[in-house]
A and B are shown apart, each in its own frame.
Chain A
């Protein structure tokens, strides 16, 4: 369980998150949606402890960061580090000994090649493999489907289902609504730094409609008229 109480975050004078309250339960998958700049990544960075914030973030396993796998939107790779060394580095960081790295390579990545030569999707898959190998209890996937091929999309969805069945807590952000409705138990719409709508499976349609209305509205007409 991760519990967030009265979380607020400002950058200078800009309020990015404002009084966020939410509880992420064990064995559930949560979707966070919102426009670019709505504060999704900032929320994830606060949960991970990568940002200072006001409010409280607590978890059943302490310290939270040592049990959290964070998949960044655009994972960073050192120049001239191989895929295998990257996995080794992140496993060493959590004191996890992996002996059969090749059999764990579920995405068939070229682990002996330099990771910075990988395509966008391959980089994402490598970063995902690393946080799965770390045996975390909590997972945050920031745009896991970005740049990933269709087969891997299916694999990622299956991984999320598997993590749920193992009792892990998963939080996902995605701009592809269908991927969230396939995997999530709850979806929360982040708007102007606050959750403006939250819904269980039955209410996903409402959130999608709200996003269409506020995101598209009459913007296309305005554009075409110009």
Chain B
């Protein structure tokens, strides 16, 4: 019997289209020549993190560690001491598995290791709670010397990938599994032509309005823009901030927004505890106390389902953000 390889090879899910992880993998290939000191570490999930693009183009700069994240992360620390920059890629839950290695071996001596994790949040979808990291932003924020980034769309992921290569020191960056909506224009152009550069520690104002500020990261940025549209129809003007860097947080931008709008909504595909909402609340409580409403998963585990259905079920979509904005405005007015 003749074998038919094409017919037998399975259809891989999510490796096409404009997911953040695919954008990340393609960006690595684009950046490889200009940044010859970085290599990629993988723990048997190259197909899932986007790094399969890099493995194909630069096999000598791709290190396979097998399914062994603890060893991979601590090895990345040793590798970095030789003057090279390992970009360690895995799923966000498996980065959590090696959290202590990241804390002691990488962050404590401040080594130049970049941890880039795909499959964060409910955006993971049908794989269910075991694969949906809703705790990573909180955990990584709590580690001293760690920079924490969660870009909004494929365009921003590509810019952020170059930014973390230019930055010295440990970084944790989230990508995303599912096809993502574009927030920024021009994602189909080659990297060098992008008009805007990504600056670590600077939020990006996508819309300006005086009634409320919505601060979002990751997939929630597109949904925050949906909410702003809904609110505009009601005569409410929202400022929307893409806060891609959770740490160090852009406190001066938050203060400026606090003075202009006087109330906030935070939105993230993450537990409401300790992530973006926590970061914003900490900063505002200290510098400019005002009402803050939190959109995120309310301290519970996720479950299987399509990402859009999960976002609806757990209250992460535009209408939920808009409702939170109305609550924040009412609190501001003392209603």
The reply to whether chain A is a binding partner of chain B is no
Chain B residues in contact with chain A, CB under 8 A?
none
